Amino acid sequence: MLVRIPGLALGLAMFGAGIGLNIRANLGLSPWDAFHQGIALRTPLSVGLVTIGVSVVVLLGWIPLRQRPGLGTLLNATLVGVMIDLTLFVVGETETLWLRVLYLVGGIGMVAIGSGLYIGSRLGPGPRDGIMTGLAARGMSIRLARTLIEGTVLIAGWLLGGAVGIGTVIYTVTIGPLLQITLRRADKGPL
C-alpha cells in the first residue's frame, strides 16, 4: 500500500490541476465540474471548496448503497478541490484563444493521466464513481448509471450557470479513450 500512495497523490494532484486548467480555458467543462462551478457562482465558495463539499454529500449517498470508502476515496474528496483552487490561483484568466485551447487540451490530458494514476493505485474509487458502482451492484448497468448521473449534474450545472460548451463535448468524447490508455499503462506499472 505504501508503494501505491505516491501514485495516488500525484494522480489526484494532476486530476485537480487538470480541472483547474479546464476552468481557465472557459470553453466548457465536464458535467460534474460545470455543476461545481454553477454552485460556486451562486455562493461565496470557491470551485475547489464546492468540489470538496459535493464530495462529502456524495459520500453520504454511499451509505444506503453500502459502499466502503478507501484511502483514495477520502484523499480524492479533499485533495482534488485543493488542487483546483491552487491551479486557479496560479493560472490567470486569458482571452487568448490559442492559450485557452492549450489549457483545455492540457487539462483533459492531465485529468486522464491523473485518473489512471489514482484509479490504478487501487486505494478506493472517487466519491462520484462510488455512486455509479453502488448502483451497478444493485442491478443497474454501469452505462445507465453513469449516463443518468452525468446527465443530471450536467443539466443542473448548466441551469446554475456552469460553463457548458465545445469543451464539454471534447471532454465527453475524449476522456473515455484517454482513460482507457492511461489505465492500461497504470496496470503495467509507474507511468
Q: Torsion over CA of 19, 20, 25 and 29, rounded to 10 degrees?
A: 40
Q: Taking all residues of the chain, what is their mean pLDDT, rounded to a whole number?
A: 91
* Residue numbers of the domain that contains 97: 5-188
| Res 107 pLDDT > 60 | yes
pLDDT the model gives residue 182: 82
Tens digit of each residue's pLDDT (9 = 90 or more) over 28-87: 999 999 999 999 999 999 999 999 999 999 999 888 888 889 999 999 999 999 999 999
| Res 172 pLDDT > 90 | no
Taking a C-beta distance cutoff of 8 angstroms, is the pair 5, 120 a contact?
A: no
Global confidence as pTM: 0.89
Angle between helices 5-25 and 97-120 (to 10 degrees): 160
- Which of 59-73, 88-102, 172-186 ranks highest by mean pLDDT? 88-102
Tens digit of each residue's pLDDT (9 = 90 or more) over 134-147: 888 888 887 788 88
One-letter amino acid for residue 46 of the chain: S
Q: What is the largest CA-CA distance in the chain?
A: 47
Helix (H) / strand (E) element for 100: namely: helix 97-120
pLDDT bracket for residue 157 (50, 70, 90): very high
| Res 155 pLDDT > 80 | yes
Of the two residues 53 and 120, the one the predictor is more confident about is 53
DSSP class of 44: S
Nearest to 51 by CA among 30, 71, 26, 25: 30
Nearest to 53 by CA among 147, 15, 86, 44: 44
The region, left, alpha or beta by phi > 0 then psi within -120 to 50, assigned to residue 163 is beta
pLDDT bracket for residue 191 (50, 70, 90): very low
Of the two residues 73 and 178, the one the predictor is more confident about is 73
Q: Which positions ≥6 away from 47 have C-beta within 8 Å?
A: 23, 33, 36, 37, 40, 81, 84, 85, 88
Count of structural domains, the chain: 1
Read off the C-alpha cell for 51: 468540489
